[in-house]
Structure 1
Amino acid sequence: MAENRPSLGEMMAATVPMVRTLGLEFLETTAERAVVAMPDQSAYHNHLGGPHAGAMFTLAESASGAIVLAAFGDQLSRAVPLAVRAEIGYRKLAMGRVTATAELGRPAAEVVAELDAGKRPEFPVEVAIRREDGTVTGEMTIVWTLRPGG
């Protein structure tokens, strides 16, 4: 009998209140890439009628968290993933529904090898935020760590 396991997106929605608040939709969550969408919601607009910068930050950070969990979920018994720092650049006006696409900035095997060596590895996750027409409206780098001691 097959197990009905929740998807990574369902787990994030259940455990991260901001994911539910913003109605984020996890379109793809693999160890190579995570794509998360945020619907257009007037309650979270800025003064120009597009998504507020804080909402876009949360979207991008959520996509980064999804790829970290997909890539390192098998390490959770011995390490806790934590965001260390983030930098975001808003490039173009975002309007309507936006998506964030996250990719690891280092090979997962390299990060796990550092953890195996007793280190606390840090690794970047690069995120591009796009409008529905594909235009990149923002770019974010989030540096994560795997803190030993799960």
Structure 2
Amino acid sequence: MSIGEMLAATVPMARTLNLEFLETGADKAVVALPDQGDFHNHVGGPHAGAMFTLGESASGAIVLAAFGAQLSRAVPLAVRAEIAYRKLAMGQVTATATLGRSAADVIAELDAGGRPEFPVTVELRRADGAVTGEMTVVWTLRPHA
């Protein structure tokens, strides 16, 4: 099962928004939010909550790709998030997530008995390539008790 299939199967909001997991690697994750009238805002573009969920889902996809081998000893959890809406989003919106700290460094901290935190940055773009939003989600790997 791919990371995208796993997220769609286990995260109801990803299914509800019909998110499309286009790329799910340890270096980059790309997720698309199709243009759907049910999730529009008052100006006809994707609702801010849908865009937040898109960005958070892309960040989760890269976290699973980078740290999936650690799931037997730690659970990934989002700690906090910040989003900036830069331009009006219309039509399909795509989120591209990248790790803000090396996976090796995060795993080394986990190996040393820590509970590492690390940022994932996300760019939200509309079809013409314009950046409509920027997001940072800080994640942790919480060791199992």
User: Shorter-chain TM-score category?
Assistant: over 0.9
- Partner Cα separation in structure 2 for residue 118 and residue 7 of structure 1: 29
Percent identity between the two aligned chains: 79
Compute the TM-score of the two structures, normalised by the length of structure 1: 0.96
For structure 1, the residue ranges without an aligned partner over 5 or more in a row are 1-5
Q: Does residue 1:47 correspond to 2:15, yes or no? A: no
TM-score (norm 2): 0.99
1:10 and 1:122 map into 2 onto residues whose CA distance is 26
1:99 offset after TM fit, Å? 0.3
Determine if the alignment matches structure 1 residue 31 to structure 2 residue 26: yes
Is there any run of 5+ residues in structure 2 with no aligned partner, and where?
Answer: none
- For residues 40-68 of structure 1, give each alpha carbon's deviation from its aligned partner in whole angstroms, at most 9, with x where no partner exists: 00000000000000000000000000000
CA positional deviation for 1:135: 0.4
- 1:16-46 C-alpha deviation (Å, 9 max, x unpaired): 0000000000000000000000100000000
Counterparts of 1:90 and 1:46, CA distance in 2: 13
Which residue number corresponds to residue 76 of structure 1?
A: 71
Within the alignment, does 1:105 sit opposite 2:95 as a pair? Answer: no
Q: 1:101-148: per-residue Cα shift (whole Å, max 9, x none)?
A: 000000000000000000000000000000011100000000000001
Between the aligned partners of 1:73 and 1:8, the Cα distance in structure 2 is: 9
The residue matched to 1:146 in structure 2 has which SS?
strand
Q: Whole-Å Cα distance in 2 between the matches of residues 134 and 109 of structure 1?
A: 32
CA separation in 1, counterparts of 2:13 and 2:43? 22
Partners of 1:142 and 1:19 in 2: CA distance = 17
Give the partner amino acid of 1:74: A
In structure 1, the residue corresponding to 2:97 is in which secondary structure?
A: strand
**In the alignment, residue 119 of structure 2 is paired with which amino acid?**
P
Count of paired positions: 145
Secondary structure of 1:67's aligned partner? helix
RMSD of aligned residue pairs (Cα, Å): 0.7
- 1:53-101 Cα shifts (integer Å, max 9, x gaps): 0000000000000000000000000000000000000000000000000
